[in-house]
Chain A
């Protein structure tokens, strides 16, 4: 019961957060989206490729983005750069080692696959634009 209680207590941790999810595996994408929605976030996507992610990015004022690195053999860093140019931080969820991230993104939050969903929620909270503004 205590577990159920803790889930309810933190239920709306991410309420009002707009999070873009880009991940090419259907079930992993679904898992990420479900974990974020459970905490009250509004998920944009999921997108399975860079092109779709780019289209979704252009339409919304996002708080942050959760990005898989390897999307059908295409890497996500160009998109991450475009997101950054809009002031949107990216969280990288990948099977690659953190050491492989380009230096330009070494300050981003990195989550190792399989993703720890609690860490994911925390990362989204930390990276979101609305929370960063409150801190400033």
Chain B
């Protein structure tokens, strides 16, 4: 269809350079959308502009609409279909007539004003957005139109991501944050005020409950695999579920303030009635993020259970020292927790149980830290390093 050679005129260049400047000065995403739609109208008489970001955000705006009527969800099936196509193919799609194009023909039954489309994916080989220019009438865009709209779409895409990053100076990854995404979902539902807050809390709670059930199920399964008797199974499982409940309670109490490492250690010892003269704990104040507290809490539970059953807390002469300190003078600063049992001869276990996975595998996987369990002649030692990152520690 593009038989005419692309020959952008001086006017086109001027329009595009104006576009860059205007888009750069936009302060919000909505402003970017409005400016871009107006420019597309001016350049190619485009009737509406729709944007689908791979993050799930959507914008739809027709110049001529009132300024506050930017729709945050796109109702046109044809535009959604072609956006998905362009994102997947990573190339511009030109649809002169949606009723005749085989990509759109079967999607035209819904309500849509659009008749003709140019859809431009933005972001090179891995597009992050598809920008659709639509006309209400059948239209055969020339090669120049397509070039100009592609340039405009790319400038729009960049401006949108810039806005995304600028509006959130303290959270550089905010565009990928879950709270952001849920906020968008709440907006798409048209919720405001108390209702919106309520909806968000329910969403988060639902997520948390189902996740915990997933963890419980895997605890049930793995504990069964490694228990030799029904009694042992019941005892282990009960202990682990109680520990999970404790760490959950800690994590939810004051999520923003974090969980005190000292309190976490104490809670585990108290739960095993193991706080008297046999145990010493010491360390500076450290506040863990909820996730780090959950992971560490489960590891501490396993260590305590073992100490009570076979280790330092199972005999009169054994004792346990738990210390932690911040290690700042290393390439990867961390909080190092040392668990030292003394006065109990130990032998390395003959098989690797689930409890050991809980101690040694979860910390590296979930917190990007390290955890080593050592069976010394005098008792068990465990060294756990939790990286001093914003993901793990509240400053």
Residues of B close to A95: CB separation below 8 A: 206-211, 214
Min C-beta distance of A84 to chain B, whole Å: 6
- Please state if B366 and A25 are interface contacts (CB–CB under 8 Å): yes
Query: Contact string, B198-223, partner A, CB cutoff 8 A, digits 1/0?
Result: 00000100111111011101110110
In whole angstroms, what is the CA distance A86 to B124 when docked?
12
Residues of A close to B83: CB separation below 8 A: 104
- Please state if A102 and B366 are interface contacts (CB–CB under 8 Å): no
Cβ-Cβ contact count across A and B, 8 Å cutoff: 131
**Known A27-B222, A28-B214, A95-B211: A81·B87 in contact at CB below 8 Å:** yes
Interface residue from A72, A77, A86, A101 paired with B291 (Cβ < 8 Å): A72
- Please state if A48 and B366 are interface contacts (CB–CB under 8 Å): yes
Interface residue from A28, A72, A77, A80 paired with B218 (Cβ < 8 Å): A28
For B54, give the chain A residue with the smallest CB separation: A81
Residues of A close to B53: CB separation below 8 A: 104
For B58, give the chain A residue with the smallest CB separation: A103
Cβ of B378 under 8 Å from chain A: no
- Enumerate A6-30 residues with CB–CB distance to B below 8 Å: 24-30
Cβ of A60 under 8 Å from chain B: no
- Please state if A112 and B52 are interface contacts (CB–CB under 8 Å): no
Query: Contact string, A72-108, partner B, CB cutoff 8 A, digits 1/0?
Result: 1111011011101111000000111101111111010
Min C-beta distance of A29 to chain B, whole Å: 7
Residues of B close to A28: CB separation below 8 A: 211, 214-215, 218
- Please state if A114 and B214 are interface contacts (CB–CB under 8 Å): yes
- Please state if B215 and A27 are interface contacts (CB–CB under 8 Å): yes
Residues of A close to B56: CB separation below 8 A: 77, 101-105
- Please state if A104 and B90 are interface contacts (CB–CB under 8 Å): no
Min C-beta distance of B297 to chain A, whole Å: 14
In whole angstroms, what is the CA distance A66 to B74 when docked?
27
Residues of A close to B58: CB separation below 8 A: 103-104
- Please state if A100 and B127 are interface contacts (CB–CB under 8 Å): no
Residues of B close to A46: CB separation below 8 A: 365
In whole angstroms, what is the CA distance A81 to B181 when docked?
14
**Known A48-B365, A74-B173, A74-B176: A100·B203 in contact at CB below 8 Å:** yes
Most A C-beta atoms less than 10 A away, residue of B125, B182, B185: B185
Residues of B close to A101: CB separation below 8 A: 56
Cβ of B73 under 8 Å from chain A: yes
- Please state if A77 and B181 are interface contacts (CB–CB under 8 Å): yes
Residues of B close to A100: CB separation below 8 A: 181-182, 185, 203
In whole angstroms, what is the CA distance A95 to B182 when docked?
13
Min C-beta distance of A59 to chain B, whole Å: 15
Cβ of B391 under 8 Å from chain A: yes
Cβ of B323 under 8 Å from chain A: no
Min C-beta distance of A37 to chain B, whole Å: 15
Residues of B close to A94: CB separation below 8 A: 207, 210
- Please state if B207 and A75 are interface contacts (CB–CB under 8 Å): no
In whole angstroms, what is the CA distance A40 to B239 when docked?
34
For A31, give the chain B residue with the smallest CB separation: B218
In whole angstroms, what is the CA distance A82 to B175 when docked?
15
**Known A97-B203, A113-B213, A114-B214: A26·B362 in contact at CB below 8 Å:** yes
**Known A75-B181, A85-B127, A102-B56: A30·B218 in contact at CB below 8 Å:** yes
- Please state if B73 and A97 are interface contacts (CB–CB under 8 Å): no
- Please state if B221 and A81 are interface contacts (CB–CB under 8 Å): no
**Known A77-B55, A85-B127, A94-B207: A26·B361 in contact at CB below 8 Å:** yes
Query: Contact string, A97-131, partner B, CB cutoff 8 A, digits 1/0?
Result: 10111111101000011110000000000000000
**Known A75-B177, A80-B54: A31·B221 in contact at CB below 8 Å:** yes
Top 10 A-B residue pairs of the complex, sorted by shortest distance between their CB atoms: A102-B56, A81-B54, A95-B210, A95-B207, A114-B214, A27-B218, A26-B365, A113-B210, A26-B362, A95-B211
- Beyond contacts A27-B218, A30-B218: 11 other A-B pairs, Cβ-Cβ < 8 A, are A26-B365, A48-B366, A74-B177, A75-B176, A77-B55, A84-B87, A87-B88, A97-B203, A100-B181, A102-B55, A103-B80
Where the two chains meet, the residues of B that have a C-beta atom closer than 8 Å to any C-beta of A are 52-58, 73-74, 80, 83-84, 87-88, 90, 125-128, 173, 175-182, 184-185, 203, 206-211, 213-215, 217-219, 221-222, 291, 357, 361-362, 365-366, 368, 391
